[in-house]
Structure 1
Amino acid sequence: MLDMCQSQLSDDNKAWLSMQDFLSGEMHAKSDFRVYKASESIKAPFTDRFSESEIGSPIEQFEFNEQKFSRSSLNYLLGLSFLKQQIKDVPIKTVLEIGGGFGSLGEILLSDSRNDTFYMNVDIAPTCLFSTYYLQSNFGKDNIADYQTVKAMKEPSLHNLSERYKGAVLCPWQLPDVSGDLDLFVNFISFQEMEPDIVKNYLEHVARLNCKYVLLRNLREGKQLATDGSHAGVKEQIKGDDYDSFLPDYELISTNVHPFGFETIDGYNSELRLYKHKSVD
C-alpha cells in the first residue's frame, strides 16, 4: 500500500510524508506522546526516563525526544498518567497485571529504580513465554521468576517473590497459590475478550489479595459479539456495570476516554476505569 501511495504522490513530498505518517501509525503515536508529556508528573510511578528496548527487533516503534516507544507502551504511559492525576500518592510496591502480553508495563515500572516495584504478569501459554523472555532479556534471568521457578516454590507469596526477584511471570492456574497484599492491579483490553465468568473469577483473586487500586481499560460498548461461528467475538460482552458488580468492595473513582483513552472514528470508546478499595482512605 505504501508503494502504491508513493507512486501516486511522487510529485508531492509533503502529501507523501503525511500519508506515510498516517499509515505507519506514527501520527497516532505522536498524538499519544503529546498527551503523555503534557500530563507527565515527576512522582511514582516514575516514567519520565522510560525508553523502550529493541529486544525482538520491533517493527512498530517510534522515537520522540531520543526515547523509543511502541503504541503499547504509550497506552500504558497514558494510563499511568491518568492514575497519577487521580491519586495523590500511588502505591506501587506490588503490581499485578493479567494479560500483560510481552510485558510492556513491567518494563516501564522496573526500568526505573526510583519505582521500587515488584511486577507480576499472569498470562496464558505461550504468551507467558514471550513475556518471560522479554523481561528476562531486559532485567536478567536472576531477576525475573519464570513459571518453573514459581512452581517449585513451597509458598509463592508476594512477599517471598519480591524478596528475591524484581518480577515474575505466571500462568493462570498458579494465581490461586499466590498470597499477600497488592497495591495495584492492571488490565488493559484483554478482559473484554473474555467471558464474564472468567473475568469475575480473576477479579475475585484480585480482591482476595487485598488490592488497593484497580486500573482497567475496556471498550465501553463491549467487544463485538460472536455470530454464527463465522465472526470472532464473545458470547457475552463485558461493560462498565459488570466491573462494578464484580468489584463489590471497591468504589469507582473515575473514568476517562479523553484524553487518556481513545475514541474510534466510528464512535466506540476505549475507556479507562479506576477503582479504589473501600478500606483505603
Structure 2
Amino acid sequence: MAGVYRASRQWERIIRQWVTEEAAVDLTHFKSERPNHKMSLWDPEVNGVRYLKTLVHNLATTLDPDDWARLRRTGRREVGDPVAVRWHGMQVCLDYLQATLEVGFIERSVDLRAARVLEIGAGYGRTCHTLLSNHDVAAYCIVDLRSTMRFSRGYLRAVLDDVQFAKLRFVPVEDMDVGHALSGIDFDLGININSFAEMTPDTVRCYLDLIDRRCAALYVKNPVGKYQDRSLDGHVEGDEARWRAMETGPLRQVLDIHDDQAVRAAVPGFLAAYRPSADWSEVADAWAVPWSFYWQAFYRRKRPGAAADRPDD
C-alpha cells in the first residue's frame, strides 16, 4: 500500500527537534548527547529511576536461593515506599538487595547465634533489619548521629517485632562519650557500611580504636577512594559540598572509579586503612556489588578473646 512507510508523529517531532541535519555534522560527542538519547540510549539525566529499576532488576537475576531466603524472612520491606521491582513475585529494592548480600558475606565468616553486634552509622537500619530477621542475635547496638537515629529508631520500630526491637540499644554520639558508654561491653562483631568514608580521619581512627578494644571481628564496606568526575553528578550540590566530601575518610586519593584496574590497585590501601590494629587480619574481602569502587572486608582479631585484654580510655 502506498504511503505506509513513513515516520510516526512521535518521530517527526524527534527529527524536527533533535535528530537534525545540523546535529549530524559533528559526531564528536553525539553518543553522550540528545540525538543519541533519542535514537538508542535513554537520557540518564532524566531517566534516573528507569536506570535504577533496570539495575535492580538485573541484579535480582544474580541472587542465589540463600539471598532470596534472607529477603523472604525480612518482612515489611515495603515500609517507606521504596523504588522497587518485582522478580518471581517478590518485591526487591536496591537497599535490601545490598543488605542480603552484606549479611550473606558476614555470615560466612562469623557465627551470629547469640552474637552481640555493634553497628557504627546504621543509616535507616536496613542491615540491622535484615540481620535480626535472619539470626537470633543477643543484642544489637547502634552508634550514630542523633539526626540519623531518628530515622533508624522509627523505622526499626515499624519493621521489627517487639522481641527483636527490645534487643536494640541506641547510642547517639552527641549525647555521651561513646567509649565511656560502651565501656566494659564486648561485641562479637562490629559493622560499618559507607559511613567511615564520610567521617573525619580522626573520627574514623577513634572508632577503629574502639573496635580494637571492644570487638572480636569487623565487617566494613566503603569506597576505595574519591572521584572528581563531573559527568557523574554534575556537581549539583556545589563546590563547597564537593570540597567537604574530599576531606572525609581515611582514603582520599582520587581515581577513575569506573576503571576496574584502578579500583583493584587501591584495594591494598583499603585493607590497611580499615584494619583496626596489627592484632587483626583479613579473613575475606571482595568487591561490594553493585558500586564499582566499593569494597568489603571481614577482619578478625588474631588472638580470640583479646578484646578484653585491652583497657578502655
> By the TM > 0.5 criterion, same fold?
yes
Q: Of 279, 284, 298, which residue of structure 2 is paired with 1:254?
A: 284
State the distance in 1 between where 2:61 and 2:177 align: 39
Q: Of 251, 266, 275, which residue of structure 1 is paired with 2:299?
A: 275
Q: Of 131, 153, 164, which residue of structure 2 is paired with 1:109?
A: 131
Closer/same/farther in 2, CA of residues 51 and 24 from structure 1, 3 Å limit: farther
**Aligned residues of 2:112 and 2:137 also touching (Cα < 8 A):** no
Tell me the alpha carbon deviations over residues 184-236 of structure 1, each in whole angstroms, 9 at most, x when there is no partner: 11111111111211001012112221x122111111124669x9746241325
Matches within 5 A, 1:1-281: 23-37=50-64, 40=67, 49-56=73-80, 58-85=81-108, 87=109, 89-90=111-112, 93-112=115-134, 114-139=135-160, 144=165, 165-172=166-173, 173=176, 175-176=178-179, 177-178=181-182, 179-209=184-214, 211-222=215-226, 229=240, 231=242, 232-235=244-247, 237-239=249-251, 240=270, 241-244=272-275, 246-257=276-287, 260-264=288-292, 269-280=293-304
SS in 1 for 2:245: coil
- Give 1:39 deviation, angstroms: 6.2
Query: RMSD over aligned Cα, in angstroms?
Result: 3.6
Aligned residues: 234
State the distance in 2 between where 1:262 and 1:59 align: 18
Closer/same/farther in 2, CA of residues 94 and 88 from structure 1, 3 Å limit: closer
Residue identity opposite 1:275 in structure 2: Y
Tell me the alpha carbon deviations over residues 139-195 of structure 1, each in whole angstroms, 9 at most, x when there is no partner: 357864xxxxxxxxxxxxxxxxxxxx2212221235321232211111111111112
State the distance in 2 between where 1:230 and 1:187 align: 23
State the distance in 1 between where 2:225 and 2:188 align: 28
TM-score w.r.t. the length of structure 2 is 0.63
Tell me the alpha carbon deviations over residues 69-102 of structure 1, each in whole angstroms, 9 at most, x when there is no partner: 33122212112222334x2745561111111111
- Give 1:136 deviation, angstroms: 1.2
State the distance in 2 between where 1:117 and 1:130 align: 23
State the distance in 2 between where 1:98 and 1:138 align: 20
**Aligned residues of 2:116 and 2:188 also touching (Cα < 8 A):** yes
**Aligned residues of 2:220 and 2:274 also touching (Cα < 8 A):** no
Tell me the alpha carbon deviations over residues 102-123 of structure 1, each in whole angstroms, 9 at most, x when there is no partner: 11112112234x5344222211
Match of 2:254 in 1: none
State the distance in 1 between where 2:103 and 2:282 align: 17
**Aligned residues of 1:249 and 1:278 also touching (Cα < 8 A):** yes
State the distance in 1 between where 2:125 and 2:104 align: 18
State the distance in 2 between where 1:222 and 1:251 align: 25
Structure 1 unpaired stretches of 5+: 9-14, 145-164
**Aligned residues of 2:96 and 2:126 also touching (Cα < 8 A):** yes
**Aligned residues of 2:119 and 2:142 also touching (Cα < 8 A):** yes
State the distance in 1 between where 2:51 and 2:116 align: 36
Q: Percent identity?
A: 21
185-194 vs 92-101, greater mean Cα deviation: 92-101
Q: Which runs of 4+ in 1 moved over 6 A?
A: 19-22
**Aligned residues of 1:224 and 1:237 also touching (Cα < 8 A):** no
